[in-house]
Amino acid sequence: MIFKNISDLRHHLIEQLPNALGLVPTMGALHDGHLSIIKDAIADCDVVVVSIFVNPTQFNDPKDLSNYPRTLKEDVEKINQLHGNILIYCPSVKEVYPHGVVSETFDFGSLSKYMEGQYRGGHFDGVGTVLKRLFQLVKPNKAYFGKKDYQQFAIVKKLVDIENFSIEVIGCETYRESNGLAKSSRNKLLSKDQMQEAEILYSCLKWAKENFHKQAPTEMKKKVKSIFTSKENFKLEYFEIADENDLVPVVKLIKGKRYRAFIAAYCSGVRLIDNIALN
């Protein structure tokens, strides 16, 4: 069932009285990665709301916003093939931003300072703004996010903390193409050959994991940089090794801490990101 406004969705939910209401926020262009997150939510909750809303405030590049794939008809067909009590919520810009399309600013501390936070100014304020609003509108008990966007996942947990929402934030494993490339709506913008070449991101992450205790983080960063300089169609934005808890890039490893490697690169102009747990 599709709902275009919150009053109809609320009305329907009051009749259903779910014990556990799950929310899977998306910007549409659904792929198998999203479907796997929705399946995780269905396994946990008796009713799942999938929101589809391309959020203007989280795009720092207007071209990226206008290029973002919009495929509502196909998205609905894909959701309808899943089994479970799934409600689709496609709000208008006016419903999400009744006072104008502007971002709130949040203090996410170090979580928004590096990597995506460094290269996409204002992005996490936009994400925080839309999710705060969606959480207020839908009032879920649980909300599901892919760990491909690990920094976003960490920031949503912080947002729930800051705003005192009683919502459990659940991270779902990254779904990958057969060559290891993380599933992303942006993969639709790549040709078959480019998609093949883009496996380099995951190869670098896997290499980092395999060599984590053999090389210092700075050496690893140099090596990954050098791999990308020889790749004509690619531009590496960052390769970073950071503490999993505060997402501060690390220079010297500390025993007992957990680390992840993060990567962002343009493949023929399409921006791709990925990450991996190192220990």
Residue ranges for the known binding site for beta-alanine are 58
Integer Cα distance of 218 and 202 in angstroms: 19
The reply to whether 12 belongs to the active site is no
The answer to whether the CB of 161 falls within 8 A of the CB of 181 is no
Strand-pairing partners, residue 236, are 265
x/- site string to ligand PAF, residues 159 to 198, per CB under 6 A?
A: ----------------------------------------
Nearer CB in complex with ligand PAF: 37/224: 37
Q: How far is the CB of 273 from ligand PAF (least distance, A)?
A: 11
Hey, how many other C-beta atoms are within 10 angstroms of the C-beta on 118? 14
Hey, how many other C-beta atoms are within 10 angstroms of the C-beta on 7? 9
Nearer CB in complex with ligand PAF: 120/221: 120
Q: How far is the CB of 156 from ligand PAF (least distance, A)?
A: 7
Indicate the pairing of strand 21-26 with strand 259-267: unpaired
Write b or e for each residue in 259-270: b if 16 or more Cβ atoms lie within 10 A of its Cβ, otherwise e.
bbbbbbbebeeb
Q: Would you count residue 130 as binding ligand PAF (CB under 6 A)? A: yes
Of the ranges 11-19, 125-133, 223-231, 268-276, which one interacts with ligand PAF (CB under 6 A)?
125-133
Q: How far is the CB of 27 from ligand PAF (least distance, A)?
A: 4
Q: Would you count residue 261 as binding ligand PAF (CB under 6 A)? A: no
Nearer CB in complex with ligand PAF: 52/208: 52
CA atoms within 13 A on the CB side of 243: 15
Given 11, 12, 34, 123, which residue is catalytic?
A: 34
Q: Would you count residue 55 as binding ligand PAF (CB under 6 A)? A: yes
Q: Which of 6, 23, 27, 278 binds ligand PAF (CB under 6 A)?
A: 27
Nearer CB in complex with ligand PAF: 27/263: 27
Going by the annotation, the residues of the binding site for ATP are 27-34, 146-149, 183-186
Q: Would you count residue 127 as binding ligand PAF (CB under 6 A)? A: yes
Q: Would you count residue 155 as binding ligand PAF (CB under 6 A)? A: no
Q: Would you count residue 25 as binding ligand PAF (CB under 6 A)? A: yes
Q: Would you count residue 125 as binding ligand PAF (CB under 6 A)? A: no
Q: How far is the CB of 20 from ligand PAF (least distance, A)?
A: 20
Of the ranges 12-20, 127-135, 241-249, 263-271, which one interacts with ligand PAF (CB under 6 A)?
127-135
Q: How far is the CB of 257 from ligand PAF (least distance, A)?
A: 26
Indicate the pairing of strand 47-52 with strand 86-89: parallel
In the complex, the residues that contact ligand PAF under the rule CB under 6 A are: 25-27, 55, 58, 127, 130-131, 149, 152
Active site residues: 34
